Amino acid sequence: KVGPYLAQFIKDKEAIKQYVRTALNLFVKMIKCQQ
């Protein structure tokens, strides 16, 4: 069965996207603060 694996993969991908977005926001804030 591929279904459960696919669902887990999609969930992980969403979590990774969320994490990357948060990290980028923090990075941008740091750069703006240093200027």
Q: What is the pLDDT of residue 23?
A: 98
Dihedral-angle region of residue 16 (phi above 0 means left; psi in -120 to 50 means alpha; beta otherwise)? alpha
Q: Domain spans of the chain?
A: 1-35
Q: What is the pLDDT of residue 2?
A: 81
- Residue 30 CB coordination number (10 Å): 9
The pLDDT tens digits of the residues spanning 1-35 come to 788 999 999 999 999 999 999 999 999 999 999 97
Q: Map residue 1 onto helix, strand or coil.
A: coil
Q: What is the pLDDT of residue 12?
A: 96
**Which amino acid is located at 13 in the chain?**
K
pTM exceeds cut of 0.75: no
